[in-house]
A and B are shown apart, each in its own frame.
Chain A
C-alpha cells in the first residue's frame, strides 16, 4: 500500500471549515488530505480505492493517498510537497477575483509548512489584493518527527500572518463548533471582498506521521511521548462533540450509535470493494502525461 497519512484526531478542523463552503468553493490540500476531501463532500469509496491505488480511485490509482482530486466536490488537489499547494489556492482565489464568481479558496497547511518561504510570499500577495482565500494552518505540534519547539522560535503560528495585515484567529481545533464559528466569519469576510483570513487550529494527530507502519501507535518510528498522546485522546474531537450533542438534547446516544454503526458498515464495504477492484492496466502507464487538446 502507498504511504498513508491518517487524519485521525484532526477531524473537527476539516468539518468545521468545510461546512461553510459551497460545493463550488475550492479547497487545496496537503499529504494529510483524507479528512479535507470527505468534509468537502467527497466520495468515500473513491477515496479508499485511491488509497489502494486502484483504477476506480478518485485519481485512477495514479496519485495514491497523497494526491486526492475530485473537481466536482471542489477538491482541486492535494500534494505532499510541504506548502506546495498554498500558492495554487492563491491562484484559484486570484481567478475568482478576476471572474467575480464569489468563490472562496481554502489552503490547508500544517505547522511544518511555516518553514517554507512560499507561505509568506502568498500571504503578502493575498493581503495586497484582498483575495478570497483562507489559510487554515492545522498545528498538530509535530513536523513529521520534530516537535514544534525544535523548528520554530514561537509556537504561536497565527502571529506570522499579522505583519501582513491579515485577519487572524487561533482556535481550539478539537472543538468543531469553535472552528465553525471562526470559519463562518472568515468565509463571509472573503465573500465580501475582505479576505484573506488566517486560521490556526490547535490539534493533534492520534496516529504517527505516515503509515501503514508508523500509523500504529507505539512503533519505534513514532517517538512522541505516550503520556502526551493519552492526554490528547481525552480531548478527541468526535467524543467531545458527541458529548455536547447528548448533553444539550440535540440527539440521543442511541441515535449516535446508529450513525456510528452505519458509518462502520460503509467504511468496511469501501475497503472490501477497494480490495476487489482492479489495479490500473500497465498498458496504460503513459496515459495522462498530457491532456489531448480539445
Chain B
C-alpha cells in the first residue's frame, strides 16, 4: 500500500471506486439492479459507471427481483461475475429463491462441478419514518444458509476492499451495507486492494470489555468507547467485517483477554448474529467470562414509522454505554 495515495473518501464513493477498478480489470464483471441509473436508489455508488462501461454491463432492471437476481445467478453460472444490487434489502425477499435455493446450494448440488461467482448486494435503509418494509436488516437469514458468505463492512476502507474480494470470490457472497454509513469517511487507498473475507479487525484496543460491533453499530461502538475512556473504562472494539465465515479467533482472543463481551448488531435480537456470537463465546471462552454475554440488537418488533417509536427502537451509543456500565458494576 502506497501511503502517498491514501486520501479520505466517503463510504459510498469507496464502493464506486471498487466498481470502477474491478470493471476496468475484468470484462466479466457486470452490475445489475433496480435503479443503477438513479442516484435516488443507489446514491453515488454507481457514479460514472454507465458512461464508462455502457448499459451493456451496467443494467437497470424492471421491478422483478426474483427473475433479475436469478439472471445474475445464471450469468455467473456461465462465467460472468455479476453484482446484483437491492437498494432496499426488504425487496430482496422476492429473490430468496435464486439466492438460497439456487446459488447457495449450487456448488454442492453439482458435486463441485459448477460454481456461482455472484455478489448479492443489499442496502439497509434504517429509520427516516420508513416503517417496517423499508428498514429491515436481513443479514442473519443469509448467514444461516450454508454456501453463502456474508460481509458487512463498516468503514469506507473495508467497503472498497470487501467489495473487491466479494467480486473476485468464486462463490456467492452477500454484501450488506447500511445507508447511514454512506457519508462516513475513512482513509482509502487509490490502489486496487482487497480485504480478506473471513477476517475481522480490532478498531480499538482495550482491556476491560470486548465490544463486538456489526456494520452501523461500529461507529456507535467507537463513540461509546471514547466516552467510556473518559470514565476510565477501556473498551476493545472488534469488527468481524464478515459475518460468515466468522473470524472466531479474533473474538475469542479478545473475550479471553477482557472476560466481558457485548455484541451490538443491526438486526433483530432473537436467532440473530448477536445470538450466534454469544453462543460462540459461551462455547469457546466460558471459563474466561466474568459476566454473561450481553446482546444489543433490535427488539423483536417490526420497524415502526413514527420518530418517537424509532428512537426507542434503534440502539445507539448511549445504549451501549448503559450496558457496559451495568456489566462493569455487576
By a beta-carbon cutoff of 8 Å, the part of chain A in contact with chain B is 26, 28, 57-63, 67, 69-71, 76-77, 79, 81, 84-98, 105, 117-118, 121-122, 124-125, 128, 287-294
Contact = CB atoms under 8 A, between A and B. Distances in A.
Nearest to A97: B56
A91 B97 contact: no
B147 interface: yes
A58 B113 CA distance: 9
A29 B117 CA distance: 20
Contact of B97 (A77, A81, A293, A294): A81
Most chain A beta-carbon neighbours within 10 Å: one of B62, B69, B71 = B71
Nearest to B114: A69
A118 B111 contact: no
Interface stretch (B102-110, B284-292, B307-315): B102-110
Contacts of B77: 76-77, 88, 91-92
A122 B78 contact: no
A289 B146 contact: yes
B111 A62 contact: yes
Contacts of A60: 111-113
A-B pairs with lowest CB-CB distance, top 4:
A87-B70, A91-B74, A60-B111, A121-B67
17 contacts: A57-B111, A59-B110, A69-B109, A77-B106, A81-B101, A81-B102, A84-B98, A86-B70, A88-B70, A89-B74, A90-B74, A95-B75, A98-B57, A124-B62, A290-B149, A291-B112, A291-B171
Given A98-B56, A293-B169, A87 B108 contact: no
Contact of A62 (B56, B70, B97, B109): B109
Given A67-B110, A91-B74, 5 more contacts: A61-B111, A62-B111, A97-B56, A125-B68, A291-B112
A67 to B, nearest CB: 4
Interface of B: 30, 56-57, 59, 61-62, 64, 66-80, 82, 97-98, 101-102, 106-115, 146-147, 149, 168-171
A288 B97 contact: no
Contacts of B149: 290
Contact of A125 (B62, B102, B108, B115): B62
Most chain B beta-carbon neighbours within 10 Å: one of A63, A93, A97, A290 = A290
A23 to B, nearest CB: 14
Contacts of A84: 70, 97-98, 101-102
A124 B67 CA distance: 10
Contacts of A70: 113
Nearest to A78: B109
A95 B147 contact: no
Contacts of A93: 74
A289 B110 contact: no
B56 A124 contact: no
Contacts of A105: 74
A118 B110 contact: no
A125 B67 contact: yes
Contact of A290 (B59, B66, B107, B109): B107
Nearest to A74: B78
A28 B74 contact: yes
A118 B74 contact: no
Contacts of B70: 84, 86-88, 90-91, 118, 122
Contacts of B69: 87
Contacts of A28: 74
B62 A128 contact: yes
Contacts of A57: 111
Contacts of A87: 66-71, 73-74, 98
Contacts of B80: 91, 95, 98
Nearest to B56: A98
A28 B77 CA distance: 11
Nearest to B66: A118
A90 B98 contact: no
A19 B281 CA distance: 59
Nearest to B104: A289
B67 A71 contact: no
Contacts of B97: 81, 84, 118
B111 A125 contact: no
A85 B170 CA distance: 20
B147 A63 contact: no
Nearest to B59: A94
A91 B102 contact: no
Nearest to B165: A293
Contact of B75 (A59, A86, A92, A290): A92
A294 B132 CA distance: 41
Contacts of B64: 121-122, 124-125
B30 A98 contact: yes
A293 B168 contact: yes
Given A121-B62, A122-B67, A125-B62, A92 B108 contact: no
Given A87-B67, A87-B98, A291-B112, A92 B78 contact: yes
